A = this chain, B = another copy of it.
Amino acid sequence: MSPSTYSISDLAGEFDVTTRSIRFYEDQKLLFPTRRGQTRIFSGPDRVRLKLILRGKRLGFSLAETRELFELWDESTTGSMKQLELLMTKIQEKKLALEQQLNDIAMLQLELDSAENRCLDAMNELNEEQTGLEQHDLALIRNAK
């Protein structure tokens, strides 16, 4: 069974980040470990938040943005009407940004595929001079993937 509390190096090891980073995230109000004496004790929810922080980073989010998302999530159950409307607006904004990212990724993927094909073509040219392989054969190789 997975434990319900974690040391700082437990988390650092599991997610391959430095303890320095984890302490920094706490300082920035993204994690809220309790203390036993001096040493930090991280909860299950803390662990989840850390995972989300790292996912945010992979998506190019600043820590401030990620914190804002956390707050959105938390306030989504407690706000006043005025608050909630603003919340909805922000959620829509984030969703739009994600759509944009999906487009960006799709285009980049196409370009990488194109570069990959170029690369295969070039390798082909070089190889053909030595092995006498035909275009035909490389088309097979290419489509095999």
Footprint of B on A, CB under 8 Å? 55, 57-61, 72-73, 76-81, 84-85, 87-88, 91, 94-95, 98, 100-102, 104-105, 107-109, 111-112, 115-116, 118-120, 122-123, 126-127
Contacts and interface: CB of A to CB of B under 8 A. Distances in A.
Contact of A109 (B80, B95, B122, B126): B95
Stoichiometry (number of copies): 2
A94 B116 CA distance: 11
A65 to B, nearest CB: 11
B107 A55 contact: yes
A120 to B, nearest CB: 8
Given A91-B112, A94-B112, A102-B105, A118 B77 contact: yes
Contacts of A104: 55, 58-59
A84 B116 CA distance: 10
Nearest to A61: B60
Contacts of A87: 115, 119
B126 A81 contact: yes
B116 A77 contact: no
B105 A101 contact: yes
26 contacts: A55-B107, A57-B60, A58-B60, A58-B104, A59-B60, A59-B105, A60-B61, A72-B115, A73-B115, A76-B118, A77-B122, A81-B127, A84-B122, A84-B126, A85-B123, A87-B115, A91-B112, A91-B115, A91-B119, A94-B108, A94-B112, A95-B109, A98-B108, A98-B109, A98-B112, A102-B102
